[in-house]
Structure 1
Amino acid sequence: MKIAIIGGTGVYDPKILNNIREECVATPFGIVRFKSGEYAGEQIAFIPRHGSTHSIPPHLINYRANIWAMKKLGVQNIIATTAVGSLNLDMKPGSFVLIDQFLDFVKNRVTTFYEGGERGVVHVDVTTPYCPSIRKTLCEFAQKLNIPIHEQGTYVCTDGPRFETPAEIKMFAKLGGDVVGMTNVPEVVLAREAEMCYATVSMVTNYAAGISPQPLTHHEVLETMQANTENIKQLILSALENLQPELDCTCKHALAEYGGFKL
């Protein structure tokens, strides 16, 4: 099983795959339950990040368990989806953004597999935190499918589960943020430590607080996601048909100076 999908808000349905099975993997951080299926001759793992009924808030997601489980299964490529608010007027609700950088504003999450002790300490390089190869594939097929997509964007990650204040949004925009969400950190960092190719497709569901002309609601987020479900499914399926997880990539050598990632 070399490819995984981590579905964010609104992307809970693994029915894009065939021969779906429920499975679980034990990790040092807890048991991970996920679905697996087949597509384009590949075995694919599917994890709904918030649970199948959106029952897990962003600050309680077991990020380390999810990434460890995928690594244990042999996954090399991960496509993650996220729902985001926009700080950038050019990134309109309903459009997609291929994230290439992030700003980390989480305060209450463990963001590494390496906390000293037996595993030691690691300082992973995140100059290019998202896999260029997967991002290129997603970009190419978004264009072929005529799906509006921004090829770059900086994701601001907050703890949540509350939405941000207008003052926070103003600050994030001044710092260079394009979109804001609650889940991409530490997921992207852990995937880099685990030497996996990881890319995020963010769907803009609304303008952020102070930019939006109306109060933010979770219902608004879900409505926009539902309206674009078919687009994101088509984009992911096209990417799955064309990913080549066996190819070498710099992502797979992120911890080379430390002797590589060890389960």
Structure 2
Amino acid sequence: MKAIIGGTGVDSLPGIEAERTLVSTPYGEVELFKGRGKDASLVFLPRHGSNHEVPPHLINYRANIKALALLGVTKAIGIYAVGSISNLLQPGKIGIVEDFIDMTGGGRNHTFFTGGKELVRHVAMDCAFDPALNAALLDGDSSLVTGGVYCCTNGPRLETPAEIRCYGRLGADYVGMTCATEASLAKEAGLRFAGLAYSINWAAGVEGNTVQFIDDCAIEKLKDHMTNICLLALGDDHDKND
């Protein structure tokens, strides 16, 4: 089984036949969409809910990733709307997330290993994203921007210009509010995971810019393209076991 996790601008997948399903986990119930027919091996999970009603700091990340694991998902791609800090990924462009900086400050449940019955385990993150999935994404579109570092903030507010300057000095190329938490939990759960980032604005204060988002029509085009890229990558023959 394979999964796509979508968020801002990607609350549904075009052209995918799927049915709404509720999955019970030890961390709570999860709404997701299981494919039918030719898409029977695909799961789509809208991280903010199908009506985009859950803010990033209140998403039940543990339940979401656990639900995928319970369904037998072995590889997943998260799609992330971001604000650009460096010129690496400019607004309207799509890139593969290479690494992340987690600035959420422990304000959310971000690990399965909380001690006691859940034990304590320190999961290595020197390779946070699956190289084979990254390669498959690049095979699907050789124009994808590579090497990007995602800075993950707690949200839901956007960042100040001073914060963005700080994140840029730390090496971040773009900023968002969800990727680090999902990637960490996916690694703990043993899922092969990749992140696809698309920029919808310049971050606050970059080159004197105020925050202005690209228009909905542009986002819709990016959504369609990213869906196709993800489906190609997840269906790639690099993994013969799925």
TM-score scaled to structure 2, two decimals?
0.92
Please show how residues 34-49 of structure 1 align to structure 2 within 5 Å.
34-38=32-36, 42-49=40-47
Matched residues in 2 for 1:170 and 1:132: separation?
30
The partner residue of 1:201 within 183, 186, 196 is 196
Percent identity (aligned): 37
1:238 aligned onto 2:223 = no
The secondary structure found in structure 2 opposite 1:82 is strand
Counterpart of 1:149?
144
CA-CA distance at 1:24 after TM superposition: 1.4
Please show how residues 18-97 of structure 1 align to structure 2 within 5 Å.
18=17, 20-38=18-36, 42-97=40-95
Report the number of matched residues.
Answer: 241
- Between 207-216 and 194-203, report the one with greater CA deviation: 207-216
Please show how residues 94-243 of structure 1 align to structure 2 within 5 Å.
94-107=92-105, 108-143=107-142, 148-211=143-206, 213-216=208-211, 220=214, 222=216, 224-242=218-236
- Between 221-230 and 82-91, report the one with greater CA deviation: 221-230
Matched residues in 1 for 2:44 and 2:162: separation?
36
**Partner amino acid, structure 2, of 1:69:** A
Query: Do the aligned partners of 2:30 and 2:63 also contact (CA within 8 Å) in 1?
Result: yes
1:187-219 per-position Cα deviation (integer Å, ceiling 9, x unaligned): 1000000011000100011111111654325x6
Matched residues in 1 for 2:217 and 2:62: separation?
30
Change in CA separation of 1:95 and 1:234 when aligned onto 2, cut-off 3 Å: same
CA-CA distance at 1:239 after TM superposition: 1.8
Unaligned runs of 5+ in 1: 249-263
Query: Do the aligned partners of 2:2 and 2:74 also contact (CA within 8 Å) in 1?
Result: yes
Query: Do the aligned partners of 1:97 and 1:151 also contact (CA within 8 Å) in 2?
Result: yes
Matched residues in 2 for 1:233 and 1:106: separation?
28
TM-score scaled to structure 1, two decimals?
0.85
Counterpart of 1:10?
9
The secondary structure found in structure 2 opposite 1:59 is helix
CA-CA distance at 1:39 after TM superposition: 7.1
Query: Do the aligned partners of 2:14 and 2:224 also contact (CA within 8 Å) in 1?
Result: no
RMSD: 2.0
CA-CA distance at 1:222 after TM superposition: 4.7
Change in CA separation of 1:42 and 1:223 when aligned onto 2, cut-off 3 Å: same
Unaligned runs of 5+ in 2: none
Matched residues in 1 for 2:162 and 2:24: separation?
42
Matched residues in 1 for 2:159 and 2:74: separation?
34
The secondary structure found in structure 2 opposite 1:16 is coil
